[in-house]
Structure 1
Amino acid sequence: MARVTLQTIADQVGVSRMTVSNAFSRPDQLSPTLRDKILAVASELGYVGPDPAARALARGTTGAVGVLLTESLRDAFNDEVATTFLGAIAEELTPTGLGLTLLTATDREDVVPARDVAMDGAMVYSCDPSSSAVDWLIRRRLPLVFIDQVPADGIPSVNVDDRPGARAAAQHLVDLGHRRIAVVTSGVRGAHGLLPVGAVIPGGATDEGAAVIDGYVAQQRILGWLDALAPAGITPPVVRLAHGRPEDGYDGARIILAQDPRPTAVLCFSDAIAQGVVQAAYDLGLRVPEDLSVVGFDDSPLAARMRPPLTTVRQDVLAKGRAAAAALTRAIAEARAGAAPTPDQVLVPADLIVRESTAPPA
């Protein structure tokens, strides 16, 4: 079968090749009747439209933006916060015609999505800033937006106001009368483990060779918790998890609840971790909140489904996604116009939501 081209359709309709091209890419240049006739002939001949690669080359754009994730795509799709965030971005981008491409960081030299995938711009979402993938995006001079990252000069950023939110969560437990309060958090790197007293954590003392709390979000939340705990004279035992899945929270809780004396309350990096903590408490014969108060972070749909419903800190994930998409489309437009990026730093509020998983200590 002969290959159908724009010229084939033009010859069939009796118009110029440019007129046929306009029917697909600039429909406002044609009358509705003529455009409908061209599209009908194209359909009859089996022509689906201009080649996307050729069109991108002609325009100098790809029509795609990347979202760089440190975690695997499987973990991202199992995380309700991440899927809600990505959905908000996709919805905001729909009117612009831009599509979403998910990128994962990789150590392989032959496959480097951040280096090799064609895109008009990218979002860096809660990634290790030392990752080579982040470095590749910067070196490519792509329009960028950082989300849940340390703000960088000249790059727009969108963050949650994690520190005040975490402070409110810890203060809630202090006000209830808790003094044995533990922390189960998540880091970018490292295995499960109880951090030694004096470990390198923001706002805390240091111990040479001790583990560190990795990741900007984890650091901000630790700072917020300590803002409320330190004035009350509370030094919390801290368990750091390599990942943030419920099963990781379960493992972390088994470590923290083995402490003597056992904590009466636990502050969790996320609702997913809190779910694992609650399950571990039940398996140990503890009641929530009578024997153990648990506080999450995010206010994901999971928080309200849990039994008891989870006290948590709400971040507006939809607003964060919309803000990230708007910042990137603006950065792309500025780059096309040859203008310097507007390095706005958006801060999404974080508010304490008190439910039934917290109570005064027995």
Structure 2
Amino acid sequence: MAADGESAANRTGGDVATRVTLQTIADRVGVSRMTVSNAFSKPDQLSAALRSRILAAADELGYAGPDPTARALAKGTTGTIGIVLTSSLQYAFTDHIATSFLGAIAGQLAPTGLAITLLTSADSGAIVPARDLAMDGALIYSCDPTSSVVDVLARRRLPLVYVDQDPAPDISSVNVDDRTGARAAAQHLIDLGHRRIGLLLSGLHGPHGVVDPDVRPLDGHASRQRLQGWQDALRPAGITPQAVRQNGTGLEAARDGARLLLDRPDRPTAILCFSDVVAHGALQVAAELGIQVPRDLSLVGFDDNPIAVQVQPALTTVHQDVEAKGRAAADALTAAIAATRTSGTLTARHVLLPTGLVVRDSTAAPSSGTP
């Protein structure tokens, strides 16, 4: 490997462009080879005019630039962070909350020059990007804590930050106050007079269908915290909810779960939903069954997803500041990376962002004619 990070393309090709080296550029400009190298890796050591001449000559000669791998070895940094998502990377491009979160991270990292690599938490066999890809640190975002990918990253001793995960003493974390927000949502329904309340839970593993929320644990930090918050209000009121556990967080899974709650004679008069997407699914099923919201059924979502104000009626929901969460996650990870480079030690920081109930049109007092 070239000591100065010349690209492999510049060293091994068969035409004129692929044989260009730092020395070729140095000869063209009339400077030393090290000066040319500094134009790419240490621009502050050259005058703007000289660097401009060197880069113009490199462009004219077709120089592709320093080899990223060699440059990373020389600098001791890759310039990339990983973001570990759920088992499907498609989630990052289809879920409004995930895209807002990732966009906030990208915006916060822009001044640092750090790039982002998306990683799946699924065990894909021989190909394990979390093990094989070079990165300076990683964000673990709303993943199954038992995933082997999380363990791989921990064994690599990379700087890590947990987001929407159970906090760990020695790893920085960023969470929203799911429990307080969920408690407020449940109390809102109780204050309206609802007693028959359903829960639409979300989980990646375990049985789908009607469950006892006090017995069957949920996987996922947010799922558990939201369930605990709901129960914080429901138990003192003497309310035992009807609960359905759905597999996944998507719209179709939500529709399946909602039908189990609504297509029955003793259906609830109100439903607390894991997310706004889940509430949207329940809203669709209610319409198909001729159940009017909020006259016959009140619905409460969570997240304050843009979809909450796009559907009719607009959803009562719990707001979380997803962009603030993304910025806090990016800051925590850059701090962890910086601490690792300078001292090798870091005092983990744990950020808990507030939530708040947003009352809109999908909730009302139970109708006297509701069965």
The one-letter code sitting in structure 2 at the alignment partner of 1:31 is S
Number of the residue aligned with 1:234: 239
Which amino acid in structure 1 is aligned with residue 182 of structure 2? A
- Letter paired with 1:247: E
Find 2:173's aligned residue among 137, 145, 157: 157
Distance in 2 (alpha carbons) for counterparts of 1:242 and 1:191: 8
In structure 2, the partner of 1:37 is 53
Ranges in structure 1 where 5+ consecutive residues have no aligned partner: none
Q: 1:175 to 1:183 in 2, by over 3 A?
A: same
Structure 2 contact 319–356 (Cα < 8 Å) conserved: yes
| From 178, 183, 205, the counterpart of 2:199 | 183
State whether residues 197 and 268 of structure 2, in contact with CA within 8 Å, keep that contact through their aligned partners in structure 1: yes
1:20 aligns to what? 36
Write out aligned runs for 1:137-216 (5 A).
Answer: 137-195=153-211, 199=212, 201=213, 204=214, 206=215, 211-216=216-221
Q: 2-side partners of 1:30 and 1:214: how far apart? A: 55
Paired residue total: 351
1:115-154 correspondence runs (5 A): 115-154=131-170
User: Structure 1 segments of 4 or more deviating over 4 A?
Assistant: none
> SS at the partner of 1:232?
coil
Partner of 1:287: 292
Is the contact between residue 128 and residue 215 of structure 1 (CA under 8 Å) also seen in structure 2? yes
Q: Is the 8 A contact 1:105 1:112 kept in 2?
A: no
Q: Which residue of 2 aligns with 1:106?
A: 122
Among 244, 267, 286, which residue is 2:272 paired with? 267
**Does the CA-based 8 Å contact 1:190-1:241 persist in structure 2?**
no
Could you report, residue by residue, the CA deviation over 1:37-70 in whole angstroms, capped at 9, with x for unpaired residues? 1111111001132111111111111111001112
Structure 1 residue 350 displacement after superposition: 0.7
SS in 1 for 2:263: coil
Task: Specify the alignment match of 1:335 in structure 2.
Answer: 340
Q: Give the structure 2 partner of residue 62 of structure 1.
A: 78
**Backbone CA RMSD of aligned residues:** 1.1
Distance 1:107 1:148 in 2: 20
Residue 80 of structure 1 corresponds to 96
Q: Which one of 210, 214, 230 corresponds to residue 225 of structure 1?
A: 230
Alpha-carbon distance between aligned partners in 1 of 2:303 and 2:190, rounded to the nearest angstrom: 20
Deviation at 1:191, TM superposition (A): 4.5
Instruction: Find the aligned partners of 1:33 and 1:128 in 2 and give their Cα distance.
Output: 53
2:109 matched to 1:93? yes
CA–CA distance in 1 between the matches of 2:336 and 2:239? 44
- Counterpart of 2:304 (choices 299, 302, 318) is 299
Letter paired with 1:76: A
Unaligned runs of 5+ in 2: 1-14
1:358 aligned to which of 343, 347, 363: 363
- Distance of 1:84 and 1:58 partners within structure 2: 35
The amino acid of 2:37's aligned partner reads: S
Q: Percent identity?
A: 62
In structure 2, what residue type is equivalent to 1:80?
A: H
SS state at 1:231 partner: coil
Normalising by the residue count of structure 2, what TM-score does the alignment of the two structures yield? 0.92
- What secondary structure does 1:171 align onto? helix
